[in-house]
Amino acid sequence: MGKTKTAFISETDEGAAKEKKSSKQLYEEKRLKQSAEGKKSSQEDKKKDQVGKMGMKGGERIATVDAGPIITDEELTPSEETKKAKGPKIRGKKYKKAESLVDKEKAYQLADAIKLVKETSISKFDGTVEMHLVVKKVGTSTQIELPHSTGKVKRVEIADEKTIQKLKSGKVDFDVLLSTAEMMPNLVPFAKVLGPKGMMPNPKNGTLIKDKKEAKKFGGNSITLKTEKKVPVIHASVGKVSQKQTELKDNVTAVIEGVGSKQIIKAVLTSTMGPGIKLQVGK
């Protein structure tokens, strides 16, 4: 075997070799090295993304599928502009003809308003005359007796054990529910059913009674006037289009007096499917 010579390169010799290269050459070498390392890292990351944590069987291959653009929650939820873009409700010829008879800017005297309600009724059946009130505060509630019938038979029930059994089965076949103080604890479990319908007995509307004799005042023409849960609006039926004008006038007057004219901000009369007619209140 021939002799082997070992040469030692000092740090001084290595530094001298580097000094022979220009700074530009050193920069290019460094950039190429970083580029090569970046490509290698990118390829490894891509393989990891494709395989993930799942084990692959022999011979299986991964196909990359383009999922398309990402849809955000904002794109899925209609914006206010989109909702408004739907435009106003399209009305039929009959409604438009009836609406043309009403001056939207005018608040009518009661007699004139009732006359217009009759003239603008477009339903083929005997429509209901409705009264809609905007009042000063939510929670306004009162029980009144109308002078004349509204054309609807009212079903009044005094709570007993049979009532409880009906409520348990989900049956509500009454319009007004009365209860004595002794029976009230049995009705509490059904508050979520009766409350939204305005049927839960309570002292404010007088449906919490002392004895059965008080039930007489809730029959026939008595109605409960109550605002909606979150807005100060009251809806009431005051009769039928076919009723005499004097009867409708008396019923509307009773509603206004029951709520209190000073509490009413706005009042509108309308027939079923007919246009709204503003009503003068307190004048």
Q: Has residue 61 been placed in a domain? A: no
Q: How far apart are CA 239 and CA 130, in angstroms?
A: 8
269-to-17, 32, 118, 138, 170 alpha-carbon distances in Å = 102, 84, 11, 21, 34
- Which of 219, 254, 273 represents a domain boundary (last residue)? 219
Q: Is residue 79 part of a domain?
A: no
- Is 93 inside a domain boundary? no
Task: For 43-64, write each residue's pLDDT tens digit.
Answer: 665 555 554 544 545 555 545 4
pLDDT on residue 45: 59
Number of domains in the chain: 2
Name which residue leads in pLDDT, 179 or 154.
179
- Give SS3 for 263: helix
Domain range spanning residue 206? 154-219
Residues 167 and 277 in one domain: no
For residues 177 and 193, membership in a common domain is answered with yes
Same domain, 214 and 273: no
pLDDT value of position 283: 58
Q: Which residue has the higher pLDDT, 26 or 167?
A: 167
> How does residue 12 score in pLDDT terms, banded at 50, 70 and 90?
very low
Closest CA to 51 of 42, 60, 64, 62: 62
Q: What is the pLDDT of residue 67?
A: 45
Predicted confidence (pLDDT) per residue in 68-82, tens digit: 454 444 444 455 555
Cβ burial, residue 13 (10 Å; 0-12/13-18/19+)? exposed
Q: Whole-prediction pTM value? A: 0.56
CATH number at residue 196: 3.40.50.790
Mean pLDDT, the chain, rounded, equals: 79
What's the mean pLDDT in 134-151?
89
170 pLDDT more than 60: yes
Question: For residue range 234-252, what is the model confidence (pLDDT) as tens digits?
Answer: 999 999 999 999 999 999 9
**What confidence score (pLDDT) does residue 92 get?**
86
Rounded CA-CA distance 155/199 in Å is 12
- The residue among 175, 199, 219 that closes a domain is 219
Give CB contacts under 8 A, 24+ apart, made by 99-103. Answer: 99/275, 102/275, 102/276, 102/277
